[in-house]
Amino acid sequence: VANGAGGSAFGPAEAGLLREVARFSAAPLAALAAREARAALLEAYLGRRSAARVQAGALARGTGETIRAALLCADLRDFTALSEVTEPHVMITALDAWFDRVAGAVHAFGGEVLKFIGDGVLAIFPVTATSSEGDAARGDCEACEAALRAVAASRAGMAHLDQVRQAQGLAPLPFGAALHFGEILWGNIGAADRLDFTAIGPAVNLVSRLEGLCKPLGRSVLISGAVAANTATALMPLGEHTLRGIADPCAVFTLPED
């Protein structure tokens, strides 16, 4: 075995020691590599924050915590009709391109995708821990601003994708996205033998219903009053609207250029 400097080879004693070190270090290194691979796999399927909670032992059904977060709900328009006249592999490519844009924007601004549902996306931008009332208000604003930047980046990415698709003779991919801010329960929900680490609560229901209002209002982005109250970004008011299953009317806004 050469010593790496172009000099004399290791002697039998040194070579033997190296073999012993390799033999005893192989198992720990393999275990470390396997653990890193499992962590990467969990993050790919659950998201970074959720994967960290699961690895830390948050595995029991019904466990969770209440957190404040900005929520983003988005999906493609007329996806069912498009999928009926499109080859499956072409449709999967289109879905991947869509998810790349929206999930890439969410992650770029500190959010986490909780789940893909068909052609839909649910993502959160959690408020970081704070120590005072002023810090709490700042944390709320930071989460909402991050969500607004992410949805703007998603829209820009989709505009570019539509240009590419049209140059290829393909139909554009219109979408709707909604933003809301509130408290959610984030944790394990499901059956005894099949769990999902996700978010539930009235805020999740509201952002989903709000996203469903995009098509009737002819807007690609709708923003709740709760987000509008936590941002300095100029927004265009669209009045109050009744959302299915939501008791109180919701003040609705959009981006000025939408």
- DSSP string over 48-97: HHHHHHHHTT--STT-EEEEEEEEEEEEETTHHHHHHTS-HHHHHHHHHH
Task: Residues 61-254: name the CATH superfamily.
Answer: Nucleotide cyclase, GGDEF domain (3.30.70.1230)
Distance CA 188, CA 183 (A): 16
Across the chain, mean pLDDT equals 85
Residues 7-59: pLDDT tens digits? 456 677 777 776 766 666 666 656 555 566 666 666 767 767 777 777 776 66
Tokens matching residue 220: 């690609």
Q: So what's the pLDDT on residue 188?
A: 83
% of the chain at pLDDT higher than 70: 81
Q: Reduced to 3 states, what is the DSSP secondary structure of residue 175?
A: strand
Asked if 101 contacts 154 with a C-beta cutoff of 8 angstroms, the reply is yes
Distance CA 76, CA 56 (A): 35
Q: So what's the pLDDT on residue 131?
A: 46
Residues 82-123: pLDDT tens digits? 778 778 888 899 999 999 999 999 999 999 999 999 899 999
For residue 160, the surrounding DSSP H or E stretch is helix 133-167
Distance CA 111, CA 207 (A): 16
Distance CA 122, CA 103 (A): 10
Beta strands 221-224; 250-254: pairing state: antiparallel
Q: 175 burial class (0-12, 13-18, 19+ CB within 10 angstroms)?
A: buried
Mean pLDDT of all residues in 167-196: 90
pTM: 0.81
Residues 122-171: pLDDT tens digits? 999 999 865 455 577 899 999 999 999 999 999 999 999 999 999 999 88
